[in-house]
Chain A
């Protein structure tokens, strides 16, 4: 079995970790290690440390959390490089804390990384640089592959189509080209955060509705509050509706 086959057959979370690590490496190369590595270290170690501690308290045995590693990576890749240390630390803490405390019907409700980023925006007034997407084409390629592996192409497409149509219509009414709406898609967000399996609906139809709702929320936010990051707010709103979607929409 060659290396590509080995990677393809490996655990899906490990593949996502590999993809995020590639994004981080490319970003660090462009922005400099000194600017970007500290927050990666802080975010990842905080997330893993806290999650492992909480799980150890529950299970009474050591546990390495790959989910926490993913959350830590996402948080670090979204926050601006060079940010004060307490912000990635707080965002990662909030993410893990929300994962273990905010539950509806036995499932944690909010995408942990998204929740951590959202609260950081409001508490610290920080902005999101999304430097994990310094290379658009790389994100498009690897993002599509990972979305395919997660079997969430339909979710990404439903978001993409909804936002493109709604925002495109808005732009046309403003006298701007329809295709400008395509330029507003946050590729890192849709390929990495939107597809998160535990906080998105269980059934396929539900996930399509979820993608449509997130795309709609995002479009409204871009049109009305352009200074607010639309992706994290839209996803949090959609996460709130997941229990309703799960109860109403069955396969």
Chain B
């Protein structure tokens, strides 16, 4: 193989590696459920706090998926051979979204390229994936771990509305 050709190909590889350094994928963050806050309050203050909390929990908008919990849209998503449930997720642009993902059978994965998310889902374990829906539009999510013959058709749609 000639030197010039080798240099061209090596150049392309080098540029790509440099670009990789600038655009490294961040994996979805695992999140713990919202922690309860402890505070030293008087009996009266505790009663007020309890009433306020009951107001905030479980607000649901029919237009969007899941429920809003303390300002975060929580959506449960299940993966099994070979489909996600729900297959379509609708959120509002600018919302903080928490996906509670779980595999019902083999190891799956939840990959959303548009949001640089790639979360492995071992069977039976809940994984929490949080992100802010900054980009509006229709995006696809796919199973990111080879799970069998139907792996190629295991996808869904994330719709971020304005």
Residues in chain A within 8 A of chain B (CB atoms):
27, 30-32, 35, 50, 53-54, 57-58, 80-84, 86, 89-90, 93-94, 96-97, 100-101, 123-136, 139, 182-188, 222, 226-227, 229-231
Report yes or no: B114 in contact with A186, Cβ–Cβ below 8 A: no
Contact of B13 among A30, A94, A183 (CB under 8 A): A94
Q: How far is the CB of B125 from chain A (nearest CB, A)?
A: 13
Q: How far is the CB of B135 from chain A (nearest CB, A)?
A: 11
Report yes or no: A127 in contact with B118, Cβ–Cβ below 8 A: yes
| List of 6 A-B pairs having minimum Cβ-Cβ separation, nearest first | A133-B152, A127-B144, A82-B113, A130-B152, A90-B16, A226-B107
Does B48 count as interface, using CB distance less than 8 angstroms?
A: no
Q: Which of B1-38 contact A (CB under 8 A)?
A: 1-2, 4-5, 8-9, 12-13, 16-17, 19-20, 23, 25
Known: A32-B140, A226-B145. 15 other contacts (CB 8 A): A54-B9, A81-B140, A82-B113, A86-B20, A96-B9, A97-B13, A100-B1, A127-B145, A129-B152, A133-B149, A133-B152, A136-B150, A182-B149, A184-B148, A186-B146
Contact of B152 among A101, A124, A131, A222 (CB under 8 A): A131
Q: What would 5 A/B residue contacts be, using CB atoms closer than 8 Å?
A: A97-B9, A100-B5, A130-B151, A130-B152, A135-B153
Q: How far is the CB of B48 from chain A (nearest CB, A)?
A: 47
- Expressed in whole angstroms, the Cα–Cα distance for A32 and B8 within the complex equals 34
Q: How far is the CB of B146 from chain A (nearest CB, A)?
A: 5
Nearest A-chain residue to B143, judged by Cβ: A129
Report yes or no: B111 in contact with A80, Cβ–Cβ below 8 A: yes
Report yes or no: B146 in contact with A229, Cβ–Cβ below 8 A: yes
